[in-house]
């Protein structure tokens, strides 16, 4: 059981789903996709998950591809207590460095605002797909739980649908509607039901 932070209201279903993902006893890297409209608490949940488990959290922004690779290299160095930023020429090396975070144990590895990265580099979903190819050593030897998060629901859902690059063979889709978190745990009057979706994709073995 991963401790649910005391300041977190509701979201028991999402927390349990993320907990199951972050403690999945299976071998090999896992891929999950989290989406939902803005201000639903996705970042809050994923940051909390990483805090509670020693996971790695990275929030992308609207930077160029080169700037994002540099920022990720710095964030990884901080996480690993490395003396200097890691340098990546391409996302191939960067994604393998993310997978390597899970060499010893199951660990969540979050890329928040993933659509910003894809906008700057449309190859990225296919690079992640190839990095997670069945029988690939970097995937087999990793227990990273890669979580890609974004607010554009249709954009995020597309990654795992049909012939999309990130579509795995055995995938599980989970979705939930629940009221927005408030201190009383109920939706404010007149608020539309808020929705957050978690997709988990167990990359085929
Ligand atoms: N379950 C929750 N309990 C308490 N505060 C929350 C919860 N979910 C979200 N919040 C707060 O709501 C705001 C919006 O959440 P955020 O994680 O930024 O949303 P998103 O990433 O989906 O756009 C933040 O200030 C966050 O701290
Ligand atoms: Mg967010």
Order of all β-strands in the sheet with 144-150 = 56-59, 107-112, 144-150, 30-36, 194-202, 170-178
Given this model, what pLDDT does residue 164 score?
67
Residue 173 confidence (pLDDT): 37
Q: Is the CB of 66 under 6 A from ligand 1?
A: no
Tokens of 122: 């449309």
This prediction has a pTM of 0.87
Nearest CA to ligand 1 atom 16: 41
13 lines ligand 1 (CB under 6 A): no
Quote the CA–CA distance of 120 and 31 in Å, as a whole number. 21
Q: Tell me the C-alpha to C-alpha distance, in Å, between residue 128 and each of 3, 13, 30, 124, 184.
A: 30, 27, 11, 6, 40
User: How many angstroms separate the CA atoms of 53 and 22, rounded?
Assistant: 8
Q: Per the structure block, which two tokens stand in for 84?
A: 């200097």
Question: Is the CB of residue 168 below 6 angstroms from any atom belonging to ligand 1?
Answer: no
Cβ(39) – ligand 1 distance below 6 Å: yes
Provide the pLDDT for residue 17: 87
> Each residue's pLDDT tens digit in the chain (205 positions)?
888 888 888 888 888 889 988 998 988 998 888 887 788 888 999 999 999 999 999 999 999 999 999 999 999 999 999 999 999 999 999 999 999 999 999 999 999 999 999 999 999 988 998 998 888 999 999 999 999 998 876 677 666 666 666 665 223 334 334 444 454 444 443 343 445 666 665 554 4
Q: DSSP label at 181?
A: P
Specify the pLDDT at position 159.
67
Domains and CATH numbers, the chain: 12-183+192-202 (3.40.50)
Tell which one of 8, 44, 187, 195 to mutate to probe ligand 1, the residue whose CB is within 8 A of the most ligand atoms. 44
Tell me which residues have their CB within 5 A of the ion that is ligand 2.
42-43
Compute CA distances 82 → 75, 79, 111, 166, whole Å: 10, 8, 20, 31
């Amino acid at each position: 059981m991963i401790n649910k932070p005391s300041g977190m209201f509701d979201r028991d279903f999402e927390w349990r789903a993320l907990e199951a993902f972050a403690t999945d006893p299976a071998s090999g890297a896992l891929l999950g996709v989290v989406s939902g409209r803005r201000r639903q608490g996705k970042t809050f949940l994923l940051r909390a998950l990483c805090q509670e488990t020693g996971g790695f959290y990275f929030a992308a922004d609207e930077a160029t591809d080169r700037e994002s690779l540099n920022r990720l290299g710095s964030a990884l160095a901080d996480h690993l207590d490395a003396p200097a930023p890691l340098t990546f020429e391409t996302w191939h090396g960067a994604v393998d460095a993310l997978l390597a975070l899970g060499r010893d144990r199951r660990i969540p590895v979050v890329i928040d605002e993933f659509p910003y990265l894809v906008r700057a580099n449309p190859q990225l979903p296919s690079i992640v797909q190839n990095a997670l190819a069945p029988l690939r050593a970097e995937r087999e030897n990793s227990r990273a739980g890669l979580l890609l998060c974004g607010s554009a629901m249709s954009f995020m859902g597309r990654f795992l649908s049909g012939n999309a690059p990130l579509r795995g063979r055995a995938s599980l889709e989970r979705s939930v509607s629940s009221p927005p978190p408030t201190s009383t745990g109920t939706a404010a009057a007149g608020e539309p039901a808020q929705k957050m979706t978690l997709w988990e994709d167990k990359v085929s073995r």
